[in-house]
Amino acid sequence: MMDRTQLLLVGLPLFLLCSDLFNLFAPPPPKPAHHDHHHNHHHNYQPSKTQSTIQQPSPDFTTHAASGAGAIGFGNTVNIDFCASCSYRGTAVTMKNMLETQFPGINVVLANYPPPLPKRVLSKLVPVVQIGVMSIVLAGEHIFPRLGYAVPPPWYYSLRANRFGTISSTWLLGNFLQSFLQSSGAFEVYCNGEMVFSKLKESRFPGEIELKDLVARRIASSRVVHGLGGANWSS
């Protein structure tokens, strides 16, 4: 019975560590290309003769509808870059749904905001250290002679005396450290390439009404700039 308990205490952390390594180095899933389908749907759509006949009295109906309040989101893109390891995805999805409801046709893109490069490099080294410590605790008698040590150092026997506690502590502390190094604490919102809110600067999340107003102002300013540019071009 004791052998099975020891095997469980050693095997479970190793199994979870291998799972973390697999998830860490696995490539991200491909993004769904729903926008292409949306555009293709409109390109492939051909009105019938009856519909063409009905729409003939008002040929500018399509232009009028595209410029109305219901299509205020068309041609605008909002990027929400958030910390995926900080459990911010739920907030990002809530903001995405709110913006798509308030601005029909707007394109809201969610993406992970990575931490700085030094933290990313250190986070890759944490699993290596975890495996090294666990390997030394479990097979130190065979590892140290291959490294040129006739007798293992004194600290090895201290780790060996409580090897199950050492393995569990190494796994738990390593995962905590890796989660800290992978977190950026960011929730950055961009509208048409311009930042409208930054959690890194404000040290808080935006409110739904606040974010809606910020995006609306940016869309309005973009329309004014495009309108002026079109007027200058036509003149």
Is residue 169 scored above 50 in pLDDT?
yes
Q: What pTM was estimated for this model as a whole?
A: 0.58
pLDDT score of 13 more than 80: no
pLDDT for res 152: 84
- Percent with pLDDT over 90 in the chain: 43
DSSP codes joined into one string, the chain: -HHHHHHHHHHHHHHHHHHHHHHHHSPPPPPP-HHHHHHHHHHH----HHHHHHHTT-TTHHHHHHTSGGGTTTT-EEEEEE-GGGT-HHHHHHHHHHHHHHSTT-EEEEEE-PPPHHHHHHHHHHHHHHHHHHHHHHHHHHHHHHTT-SS--HHHHHHHHTHHHHHHHHHHHHHHHHHHHH----EEEEETTEEEEEHHHHSSPPPHHHHHHHHHHHHHHHHHHHHHHHHHHH-
pLDDT at residue 27, rounded to an integer = 53
Where exactly are the structural domains of the chain?
77-114+186-220, 116-183
* pLDDT for the residue 107: 95
**Mean pLDDT, rounded, for 19-43:** 48
| Model confidence band, residue 61 (pLDDT cutoffs 50, 70, 90) | very low
The band of 205, judged by pLDDT with boundaries at 50, 70 and 90, is very high
Query: Over the chain, what is the mean pLDDT?
Result: 76
Residue 95 · residue 101 · CB < 8 Å: no
In the chain, % of residues over pLDDT 70: 65
Tell me yes or no: is domain 77-114+186-220 CATH 3.40.50.620: no
| Residue range 185-195, pLDDT digits in tens | 999 999 999 99
> Which position has the higher pLDDT, 180 or 70?
180
